[in-house]
Structure 1
Amino acid sequence: MSFKWLKRYMPRGIYARAALILLLPVVVVQLVVSVVFVKRHFEEVSHQMSQAAAREVRLVLTNIESAPRRSEITTASAPVATPLAMTVTPVTDAALDEPHKRAWYDFSGIVITDRLEDAVPEVAVVDLSNDRRVRLVLDTAMGAVEVSFDRRRVSAAAPHQLFVNMLFFSVLVTIVAFIFLRNQLRPIKRLARAADAFGRGRVMPYSPSGATELRAAGTAFVDMRNRIERQIETRTLMLSGVSHDLRTPLTRMKLSLSMLEDDERIPMERDVDDMQRMIDAFLSFAKGDSEDDPQDTDPIALVRTLVEDAQRGGQPVTLVESEGAGEMPLRVMAIRRALDNLVSNAVRYGTRAEISVRLTDTFLRFRIEDDGPGIPEGDYADAQRPFTRLDSARNQDKGSGVGLGLAIATDIARAHGGVLRLGRSEKLGGLRADIVIGR
């Protein structure tokens, strides 16, 4: 049997789930104890007490029926009713048509009513609406007679005390248990925050704490974070060194080419420039955002500045939509590099590009659209891999590249805890690239 539908109604947070695990057994135990208590105490004790009260009512009923006249019912029943602390009063026959009465929470009243009706067939009405008195209307040979007596004679006094005590001590134990449970869950929350911050490219101070298993998980996370940081640093240093070493021979090649004739020099200088751009792209990809620290930034102002710079450079780029306002932590240089790459691709393969920004309480989205040929849907994942060039989708004659533009944008989006999504632009018909970052 599948219980997948139950997952939709389960709490999501660890505190809520822990509270459910803690409270569910307590509630179940309370229900079981309550049912047993009602069965054993309310029903059986009330049954025995109602049986005794029914015998007393029958004794009073015998004296009532022995009265010579209806007006003497009270006097005739007094020798028995007075010692039994019962009040006997003649009433009109209309009282026989009244319904049984009891409070909705008076479970013992069900047993009392059933037992009195069975033991005393003359009982027509059982009124338990008053918690202190029991009122019976009897259909006797002398007419309708009301008999009333103390409620404590047919049910236990203060039967709700057990429920009150159960509820009070259950709440008390739950609060104490939740305090201890919170101390055990706090290290998990700290580990989750540190992992989330590292996934967004930030290093949050963290030291393992809590139970042995949590300390082991925290230590493993710290070791993993240190290894990743060392790998990033090694990659950056290695590619930075390679690019630096390659610039020297490229400079010598440019000097040598300057001495050649134009017909030989120009094509070879173009190749050298292409090599220089490739090296710059490798270095940009290697650096990622390691040299950039997050700072509170207005994303709309950032994009507006980027568009103005692109327009001064002669690129057909426009800012078409800005939604929301506020700031959020961003690596300015990294985000600008990612947007520059996406805009450069857009204007390289299309005739114009449009940028829109949307900032909400839950996410930030940068959208770049162009009117170029776009990328086939099945190649979206491949297009975001480093050194991938989709010849079938993009015209390589439009400019040289090494397939790192989308890879750099993807890497920067992930470093911010976001994602780069590619799709078809419904507005311009070309490629749509969205950088979506959660807040």
Structure 2
Amino acid sequence: MSTHWLKPYMPRSLYVRAALILVLPVIVLLLVVGIAFLQKHLEDVTSQMTRTVSREVNLVTGVMDETETQQQALAAVRPDLAALDMKVRFLDINEEPEIGRRRWYDFLAPQVESELRARLPDLMAVALPSSQEARLFLSTHLGVLQLSFDRRRLSPAAPHQLIVTMVFFAIIMTSISFFYMRNQLRPITRLAKAAQAFGRGRIVPYAPGGAVEVRAAGNAFLDMRSRIERQMEQRTLMLSGVSHDLRTPLTRLKLGLSMLPEEEAAPLQQDVIEMQSLLDAFLDFSRGVAESAPEEVEPEVFLNQIVDDAKRAGYSAELICAEGQGTVTLRPTAIRRAVENLIGNAVRYGNKADVSLTLNPNSLRIRVEDDGPGIPPEQRTEAVKPFTRLDPARNQNQGSGVGLGLAIVADIARAHGGTLRLAESERLGGLCADIIIGR
């Protein structure tokens, strides 16, 4: 049987789910035991006790039916009252029955009253004000009769104490279970925070702890983090080394071409420039976020600096909107490189770049829009892959690249635990690139 319909109603937090696993059985047990005890024991015993008292009351009223005055009635039932441990008196003509307020936790009182009314046709009212006394008011041919006797003759004494005791110890045991459960879940929470921080490009101190399974998961996480760090370092060293070693022959080529006639050297100079651009792109891609340490940054001030630098470089860029205040932990050099790449692409394939910022408690969004030809939806997934060029979609006459611009941006966004999303700009009609980073 499928249980997918339960998922929307289940809590997401592991702590809440564990608490539910602890509390739900306790509540069910209390309900089952309480209902079974009330129905199978208390109600049956109360019914038997009430039936006995009803027979005794009928005995007293039966004796009174044979008398003509109240004094004769009281005298006739006096021997029976001593044996039954009851007290009787007749109310005055203008005297009202004193009912009193029933105790709120006396959950057997309704059953007692119902049983008495069913077995005593002349019963006018029942007073159960305390656990010590019960008063019955009956209509007789001599007037209203008040019968008083011990409340414990109608039902078990203090039945609520069992329920209170059960609830009390259930709360105590559940509290102790919560305490130990919190200690067991704390290592899992620490592991989750360390993994989340690493996914966003930060290394936080972490030492495995807790149960054996949690320690095994923590050690596996540390091994994985070390392997990823080594892989990133090796990639950076390899690409940087290759790019650096190729600069020397390129420099020699430039010197050799400078000695040739200008009309012969021009095509070759263009090839050398493209090779130099390719090497620079390799270096940017290899560095990624390696050269930048996480810092607390004010996004609006930071983006204003990037846009001002782009303007000084001759780009038509503008920060058109900045929503939200606060700081975000970012790698400034890496984010600067990503935003500059988006601005460069925007002005290369369009006429201007509009930058906007949205900061809320959950995420940071940096948006760059242009008025260029954009990228078709079916090619956007390919556009963020390394060494992918979409020249038919992005006007090649406006410039050329090596297919690493958007790949670098996507790599930097992923290193911050975020993502790069491409869409069509509703304002300008070109490409809309969003860098979205969780806080």
TM-score, scaled relative to structure 1: 0.93
For 2:120 and 2:94, locate their aligned partners in 1 and report how far apart those are by CA, in whole Å: 18
For 1:42, the equivalent position in structure 2 comes to 42
| 2: CA distance, partners of 1:136 / 1:116 | 9
| SS of 2:9 mapped into structure 1 | coil
Contact 2:106 2:160 in 1 (8 A): no
Aligned AA for 1:87? V
CA contact (8 A) 1:132 1:150 kept: yes
Percent of pairs identical after alignment? Answer: 53
Conserved? CA contact 2:47–2:112, under 8 Å: yes
C-alpha deviation, 1:132, in angstroms: 4.3
Tell me how far 1:303 sits from its aligned partner: 0.5
Over residues 50-96 of structure 1, what are the superposed CA-to-partner deviations in whole Å (9 max), with x where a residue is unaligned? 12211221122123323312576555544433552333324669989
User: Counterpart amino acid of 1:374?
Assistant: G
What is the distance in 2 between the residues matched to 1:148 and 1:92? Answer: 19
Alignment partner, residue 410 of structure 1: 410
With 132-141 and 244-253 compared, the bigger mean Cα shift is at 132-141
Distance in 2 (CA, whole Å) between partners of 1:63 and 1:92 is 22
Q: For 1:373, what is the secondary structure of its paired residue?
A: coil
1-structure distance, mates of 2:389, 2:105: 76
Kindly provide the amino acid, as one letter, of the partner of residue 43 in structure 1.
Answer: E
- The offset of 1:105, in angstroms, is 4.6
Superposed, 1:170-181 pairs within 5 Å as 170-181=170-181
**Equivalence for 1:16:** 16
Question: Closer, same or farther in 2 for the Cα pair 1:160/1:11, shift >3 Å?
Answer: same
Aligned residue number for residue 88 of structure 1: 89
- Name the counterpart of 1:28: 28
Partner of 2:219: 219
Which residue identity does 2:43 align to in structure 1? E
Deviations 1:141-187 (A, max 9, x none): 44543333332221122211111111111111111112221221111
- Partner Cα separation in structure 1 for residue 377 and residue 72 of structure 2: 102
AA of the residue aligned to 2:327: E
Which piece of structure 1 moves more, 118-127 or 280-289? 118-127
State how far apart, in whole Å, the 1-side matches of 2:239 and 2:214 are.
37
| Conserved 8 A contact 2:88-2:145 | no
Alpha-carbon distance in 2 for matches of 1:264, 1:27: 90
User: Any idea what SS the aligned residue of 1:8 has?
Assistant: helix
Contact 2:70–2:90, Cα closer than 8 Å, also in 1: no
Contact (CA 8 Å) 1:47, 1:112: kept in 2 or not? Answer: yes
Give the C-alpha shift of residue 125 in structure 1: 3.3
Aligned length: 438
Which shows bigger deviation, 213-222 or 246-255? 213-222
Structure 1: gaps spanning 5 or more residues: none
Q: Deviations over 1:87-115 (max 9, x none)?
A: 3324669989x999966653322332233
- 1:184 alignment counterpart: 184
Amino acid across the alignment from 2:307? V
Q: For the structure 1 residues 164 and 105, does the alpha-carbon distance in structure 2 shift closer, same or farther, using more than 3 Å as the test?
A: closer
Q: State the AA in 2 paired with 1:214.
A: V
The residue number in structure 2 matching 1:431 is 431
- Give secondary structure in 1 for the equivalent of 2:388: coil
- Report which stretch shifted further, 287-296 or 143-152: 143-152
Paired with 2:216 and 2:363, the residues of 1 have a C-alpha distance of 33
Distance 1:145 1:3, change over 3 A: farther
Distance 2:147 2:201 in 1: 83
Within-5 A mapping of 1:109-148: 109-128=109-128, 131-148=131-148
**Paired residues of 1:95 and 1:144 also in contact (CA < 8 A):** no
The answer as to whether partners of 1:388 and 1:404 remain within 8 angstroms in 2 is yes
Q: Secondary structure at the match of 1:374?
A: coil
Q: Where does 1:200-349 land on structure 2 (aligned, <5 Å)?
A: 200-349=200-349
User: 1:199, 1:327 → 2: CA distance?
Assistant: 19
- For residues 181 and 130 of structure 2, the distance between their equivalents in structure 1, rounded to whole angstroms, comes to 45
8 Å CA contact 2:99–2:128 kept in 1: the answer is no
CA contact (8 A) 2:350 2:371 kept: yes
Q: Is residue 413–residue 419 contact of structure 1 (8 Å, CA) maintained in 2?
A: yes
Letter in 2 for 1:234: Q
2:168 corresponds to: 168
Counting only pairs closer than 5 Å after superposition, residues 49-64 of structure 1 correspond to structure 2 as: 49-64=49-64
Match of 1:422 in 2: 422
* Contact 1:425 1:431 (8 Å CA) reproduced: yes
Cα shift readout 1:365-423 (whole Å, capped 9, x = no counterpart): 11111111111112221111111111231012211201111111111111111111111
Q: Is the 8 A contact 1:348 1:399 kept in 2?
A: yes
- Deviating more after overlay: 100-109 vs 345-354: 100-109
Equivalent residue letter for 1:416: H
Find the counterpart in structure 1 of residue 399 from structure 2: 399
Instruction: Give the secondary-structure state (helix, strand or coil) at the position aligned to 1:343.
Output: helix
Whether the 8 Å contact between 1:136 and 1:147 is mirrored in structure 2 is yes
Q: Which amino acid aligns with 1:228?
A: I
What TM-score comes out, normalization by structure 2 length?
A: 0.93
In structure 1, C-alpha distance between the alignment counterparts of 2:160 and 2:191, rounded to whole Å: 46
Q: Is the 8 A contact 2:131 2:157 kept in 1?
A: no
Q: Structure 1 CA distance, aligned partners of 2:106 and 2:385?
A: 72
Q: CA RMSD in A?
A: 2.4
Distance across 2 between alignment mates of 1:320 and 1:150: 85
Counterpart residue type for residue 290 of structure 2: S
Question: 1:396 and 1:91, CA in 2 relative to 1: closer, same or farther beyond 3 A?
Answer: farther
Tell whether the 8 Å contact from 1:346 to 1:369 is kept in structure 2 after alignment.
yes
Q: Distance in 2 between matches of 1:79 and 1:406?
A: 106
